[in-house]
Each structure stands twice: as C-alpha cells, then as structure tokens.
Structure 1
C-alpha cells in the first residue's frame, strides 16, 4: 500500500523520526537540522528531513488525536521510518509537576474501543508501552542536560473537552501523572508494526492545580530544548 496523505517518496523519510502535533512546531524545529528539506506539505502534515550531528532524521507533523497519529505513523513507516519519538504537550495530573517540565511516559492508558477495536477487534487488553531502550536513552540524556522531568504512566484521551470535575481524581488515582491525546496510539501501533517508539511531553498546564497555562515563550523554550535532547539521542544511536 502506498501513502495517500503524506506524498513523499520512499527514501524521503529518515529511519529516525521526531513527530509533533503542530505543523508550526515542525517548521520551528526544522531549523535545528542541517540542510532541512520539506518532503511533504500535503494536508498540512509537514515533514522535513535533514541532518543533526551527521545523523539523518525527519521531523514530521502527526496532527491532533489518535486517528490522525495512526494515519501519519502508518504512512511514515511505509516510507522508511523505524524509530519514532513524539514531542508534544501534556496536562499534569499531579500538583507537584511544574509548567515547562517534562514527562517521559513509561506507558499510556486509554479508553477501549475506537481505533484500537478496529485494529484488534474484541481483544480488549493491548499493551501501549514505549521501547525500553529508547526510554532509557531519553532519561539519561535529559538527566545529563539538567532538565527537570518526571517518569510515569499517562492517559491518552480521545476528547479534549470531555473532562468533568472528577477527571483528575479518576485518572490520577489509576496511576497516571499526565493527560494528552496521542501516545497510546503511537506505542500500540509501534508494537504492532515492530518499530521503536517513545515520547517526551512538555507540561503545558496542570489540571490538579486549577489548569493555569504556560506562556508561549516558556513553552517554545522547553520544546526547543527537548527537541535538541531527542535529536541528540537519535545521533547517538547506531
């Protein structure tokens, strides 16, 4: 099957891919690459390929939510991607987690049904966990960079505006320290397709302390610093 949304050619996409939700973020981070080339702009799924410390990498847009992530992941994989790290934002579910800090997920909870049911039918228990080696490398790199980060399980929600007054307690009581929308899909499909994946998410707001949001400038700073660390991990992998 050939991709129908990402209209790049086989070989245009590197084996190592940094995926982000926002096309503006992909454009921003492409400036970190040497000689970045825009290999797709169809449907707003911007994909750039270039070099970082002599390592060929791609920076790709996955859009919002699990279904969008699923389409982009499948097509990037068709085009040669084999190692994926998502860099996005997350709402913290614990009061001690600060804005602009990072969460490196060790797993992602999700609601059953939807795209998961379409992939596996009535097999209701499917692991959504990242690659252990990739997570270990990210933890080591973020530690050496001196960044404040948290390691733990997160919840991947399908509905941004469906939260009620019980949301934080419901999901934090089940061991989740943050909520976002795409990691469960990435981890699940990566396991299914035999690729490596992980994520680093920046805390943009804290639902446990009233939902205050990070400033645009502070978010951009954390995103750029996080991207540099992820790309460094890519450059150190064989």
Structure 2
C-alpha cells in the first residue's frame, strides 16, 4: 500500500524520525539539520530530511490527536521509518511537575474503544508503552543535562476540551502525571508494526495548580533544548 497523505518517495524519509504535532515546530527543528530538504508538505504534514552529526534524520509533523498520529505513523513506516521520538507538549496532572520541565512517558493510558479498538477488534486493553532501550537513552541524555524531567505514565486524551472538574483527580489517581493526545497511539502502533518509539514532552500547563500556561518564549526555548537532545540520541542509533 502506498501513502496517500505523505507524498514523499521511498528513500526520502530516514529510518530515524523526530515527530511533532505542530508544522511550525517541525519547520523550527528542521533548521538544526544539515542540508534539510522538505520532502512533503501535502495536507500540512511537513516532513524534512537532513543530517544531524552525520546521521540521516527526518523531522515530521503528525498533527493533533490519535487518528492523525496513526495516519502519519503508518505512512512514515511505509516509507522506511523505524525509530520514532515524539517531541510534544503535555499538561501536568500533579503539582510537583512545573512549567517548562519535561515528562518522559513510561507508558500511556487511554480510553477503550475508538482507534485502538479498530486495530485489535475488541475492547481489551493493549499495551501502550514505549521502547525501553530508546526511552532509557533519552532518560540518560536528560540526566546528563541541566534539564529537569520526570519519568511517569501519561493519559492520552481524545478530547482537548472535555475535561470536567473531576478530570485531574480521576487520571492522576490512576498513576498518570500528565495528559496529552498522541503517545498511546504512537506506542501501540509501534509495537504492532515492530518499530521503536518513545517521547519527550514539554510541560506547557499544569491542570493541578489552576491551569497556568507557559509563555511562548519559554516554550520555544524548552522545545529547542529537547529537540537537540533527541536529535543527538537518534543520531547515535545503530541498526
């Protein structure tokens, strides 16, 4: 089957891919690559391929939510991608996680049904956890930096504006320290397709302390710092 949304040609997408939701963020991160080439802009799913520290890497846009992530993941995989790291934003669900810090997901909770149901055909929960070795490399790299981070489970929501007054208590009481929208899909599909995936998430807001948001400048600074760290980790992967 050929991709119908990512219209890059076979060979134009690298095996190692940094994926982000925002096309503007993809454009920003592509500036860190040597000789970046825009290999897709169809549907706004910008995909750039270039080199970082001598290794060939792609930076791709996955859009918002699980279905969008699923389409982009499947099509990048069709085009040869094997290792995926999502760099995104996350809302903290516990007060000790501060704005501008990072969450490295050790797993992703999700509501039964919907997208994953369509893949597996029943409501039995399927594992949505990242690749251990890739996650370990990201944690080790963060640990060697001056960046503050937390490792823990996140909840992957399908509805950005559906939080009610019980939302934080419900999901934090189940061991989740943050909420975002794509990690469960990425981790589940990566296992299904026998690829590797992990994530580093910038804390953009904290729902447990009133929902204050990070400033645009601080968010961009945190994204840039994480992007360089992720690109370094991807550049060191040897098949």
Q: Which TM-score bucket, shorter chain as reference?
A: over 0.9
* 1:217, distance to aligned residue in structure 2 (A): 0.2
Aligned partners of 1:147 and 1:110: how far apart in 2?
A: 28
The 5 Å alignment of 1:189-208 reads 189-208=189-208
* 1:101, distance to aligned residue in structure 2 (A): 0.3
Aligned partners of 2:10 and 2:220: how far apart in 1?
A: 32
Aligned partners of 2:140 and 2:201: how far apart in 1?
A: 16
The equivalent of 1:219 in structure 2 is 219
Structure 1 gaps of 5+ residues are: none
Q: Is the 8 Å Cα contact of residues 104 and 201 (structure 2) preserved in structure 1? A: yes
* 1:114, distance to aligned residue in structure 2 (A): 0.5
Q: Is the 8 Å Cα contact of residues 21 and 64 (structure 2) preserved in structure 1? A: yes
Aligned partners of 1:10 and 1:86: how far apart in 2?
A: 22
The equivalent of 2:8 in structure 1 is 8
Indicate the SS of the match to 2:126: coil
The 5 Å alignment of 1:1-238 reads 1-238=1-238
Q: Is the 8 Å Cα contact of residues 19 and 87 (structure 2) preserved in structure 1? A: yes
Indicate the SS of the match to 1:57: strand
Aligned partners of 2:40 and 2:145: how far apart in 1?
A: 32
Aligned partners of 2:216 and 2:171: how far apart in 1?
A: 27
CA deviation digits over 1:173-207, x for unaligned, max 9? Answer: 00000000000000000000000000000000000
Aligned partners of 2:3 and 2:171: how far apart in 1?
A: 36
Q: Is the 8 Å Cα contact of residues 49 and 59 (structure 2) preserved in structure 1? A: yes
Q: Is the 8 Å Cα contact of residues 156 and 179 (structure 2) preserved in structure 1? A: yes
Q: Is the 8 Å Cα contact of residues 107 and 153 (structure 2) preserved in structure 1? A: yes
Count of residue correspondences: 238
* 1:235, distance to aligned residue in structure 2 (A): 1.5
* 1:123, distance to aligned residue in structure 2 (A): 5.0
Indicate the SS of the match to 1:99: coil
Aligned partners of 1:90 and 1:35: how far apart in 2?
A: 31
Aligned partners of 2:27 and 2:136: how far apart in 1?
A: 28
Aligned partners of 1:55 and 1:143: how far apart in 2?
A: 23
Indicate the SS of the match to 2:8: coil
